[in-house]
Amino acid sequence: MKIEGKNYRTIWFENNEVKIIDQTKLPHKFVIKSLKNIKDAINAIKTMEVRGAPLIGATAAYGLVLSIIEKNDLSFLKKSSEDLISSRPTAINLKWAVDRMMKKLSGVNNSDILKIALDEAKSITEEDVKFCKNIGINGLKIIEEISKKKKDVVNILTHCNAGWLATIDWGTATSPIYHAHQKGIKVHIWVDETRPRNQGANLTSYELNEEKIPNTIITDNTGGILMQRGKIDMCIVGTDRTLSNGDVCNKIGTYLKALSAKDNNVPFYVALPSSTIDWNIKDHKQIPIEERNSEELSHVEGIDENNNLKRVRIYPQKSKSLNLAFDVTPAKLVTGLITEKGICEASEQGLKGLFK
Ligand code: MRU
């Protein structure tokens, strides 16, 4: 997708380095950063220079490429893979990508390993682009239907950033929106600010602006009244881990939005590539929910009148705070799952019908 009219992807390999768009600087500064070794890759994931389930999976895959360039040694590679998996706990794509890479590399000669690793990391990214594009083509049908019935602008609410910045291109939740816009369907997006890190305001609104899609940022508490007043036609969100029973784990606050959508008969869709399905965990209480530094709540960052990035504390110094990054929306609140293979019910039967 585009930034200032130029097409970008979120990650690419160039001159033995991995290039990323540093998302901690957006929307105020557009900075391309080079990851030169495994430590850089792990740090980029931990500090959220790259974030979003599919993108951290791709970064982990390229991280293993960097590990091989740094030291072509099996025990170093194993340690790199373990460190990558533990760099963020909730999104399953991280483990999925590392496991896929390690399977491909098992038993490979030292002389061939770099080429094979690079090819596999590239195919993980290319596959994600294809899958996200298909999610868009499939989800477009839902927006088209609402538009035909309503004969007016379709208002869609989204939470966090499940846009192209969270993937390699297109995004998951945003892909149907981009496809609808490209087809000339009038859409307007309600963008949840998504505290504490504001990925909605900082990233989703930014990328929609760059694609000239009308959008309005709202606080995370505003969706309820907008739904009660008929201002939201549908919700589309992403997911970091989808259980085989259709429960979805996504950015904190998604669950409350789904409850509100249910109470107001607003369709609530979750868009995902199959790389976010966890076929093993059966009970959502077993999903490791990331708890991040409470300073992400107590401090905010922004730009001052002189264009300088500033970070300020907004909480009383003595107050405690809890920063859980994700919550779980039970399948019963999900209208449907939009995947690369089609749309299905949020249930074991629905997912197995498409993927097994
Ligand atoms: O903490 P983040 O910014 O990595 O969380 C991202 C989300 O919750 C996204 O909705 C999810 O990864 C889906 S991305 C297509």
**Contact yes or no for 227/264 (Cβ under 8 A):** yes
For ligand 1, is residue 54 a contact (CB within 6 Å)? yes
3-class secondary structure per residue, 5-28: CEECCCEEEECCEEEEECCCCCCC
From 340, 1, 338, 341, select the one nearest 169 (Cα to Cα): 1
**Does residue 275 come out as left (phi exceeding 0), alpha (psi in the -120 to 50 range) or beta?**
alpha
Looking at the DSSP assignment, which residues form a beta bridge with residue 247? none
What is the per-residue pLDDT across 210-261, written as a single tens digit (0 to 9) for each?
A: 999 999 999 999 999 999 999 999 999 999 999 999 999 999 999 999 999 9
Q: Which residue do the tokens 């991040």 mark?
A: 292
Within the chain, what is the greatest distance between any pair of CA atoms? 64
- Output the pLDDT for position 58: 98
Angle at 295 between CA 55 and CA 24, to 5 degrees: 35
- Asked if 158 and 193 count as a contact pair (C-beta separation under 8 A), the reply is no
pLDDT of residue 139: 98
Q: Give dist(CA 276, CA 239) in Å, integer.
A: 7
pLDDT of residue 345: 98
Rounded Cα gap, residues 17 and 20, in angstroms? 10
The structure's pTM equals: 0.97
- β-strands 154-158, 187-192: how paired? parallel
Q: Among 93, 199, 204, which residue has the most ligand 1 atoms within 8 Å of its CB, making it the best to mutate?
A: 199
The distance from CA 75 to its chain's CA centroid, rounded to whole angstroms, is 31
Mutate to test the pocket of ligand 1, among 202, 250, 338 (most ligand atoms within 8 A of CB): 250
263: CA distance to ligand 1 center in Å?
25
| Res 55: pLDDT | 98
> Going along 159-219, which residue ranges are E strands?
187-192, 215-218
Matching residue, tokens 């960052």: 301
325 lines ligand 1 (CB under 6 A): yes
DSSP class per residue in 53-116: HHHHHHHHHHHHHHHHHH---HHHHHHHHHHHHTTSSS-THHHHHHHHHHHHHTT--HHHHHHH
Q: Looking at residue 277, what is its pLDDT?
A: 98
Closest residue by CA, ligand 1 atom 6: 52
- What pLDDT is stored for residue 135 in this prediction? 99
Please report the pLDDT score of residue 196 as a whole number. Answer: 97
Q: What is the dihedral of CA 192, 198, 203, 208, to 10 degrees?
A: 20
Q: What's the confidence (pLDDT) of residue 157?
A: 99
pLDDT of residue 167: 98
Q: Is the C-beta atom of 242 inside 6 A of ligand 1? A: no
Are 134 and 313 in contact by the 8 Å Cβ rule? The answer is: no
Residue 11 has a pLDDT of 98
Which residue's CA is minimally distant from atom 5 of ligand 1?
A: 52
| 216: β partners | 190
At 85-99, the pLDDT tens digits run 999 999 999 999 999
250 lines ligand 1 (CB under 6 A): yes
- H helical segments located in 211-273: 223-228, 254-263
For atom 8 of ligand 1, which residue has the closest CA? 251
Task: Output the CA torsion sign for 50, 273, 157, 147.
Answer: positive
Ligand 1 pocket, 160 CB below 6 A?
A: yes
Each residue's pLDDT, cut to its tens digit, for the chain (356 residues) gives: 999 999 999 999 999 999 999 999 999 999 999 999 999 999 999 999 999 999 999 999 999 999 999 999 999 999 999 999 999 999 999 999 999 999 999 999 999 999 999 999 999 999 999 999 999 999 999 999 999 999 999 999 999 999 999 999 999 999 999 999 999 999 999 999 999 999 999 999 999 999 999 999 999 999 999 999 999 999 999 999 999 999 999 999 999 999 999 999 999 999 999 999 999 999 999 999 999 999 999 999 999 999 999 999 999 999 999 999 999 999 999 999 999 999 999 999 999 999 98
Structural domains in the chain, sorted by start? 2-127 (1.20.120.420), 138-355 (3.40.50.10470)
Q: Listing from the earlier edge strand, what are the strands of the sheet with 268-271?
A: 215-218, 187-192, 154-158, 234-237, 268-271, 336-339, 342-344
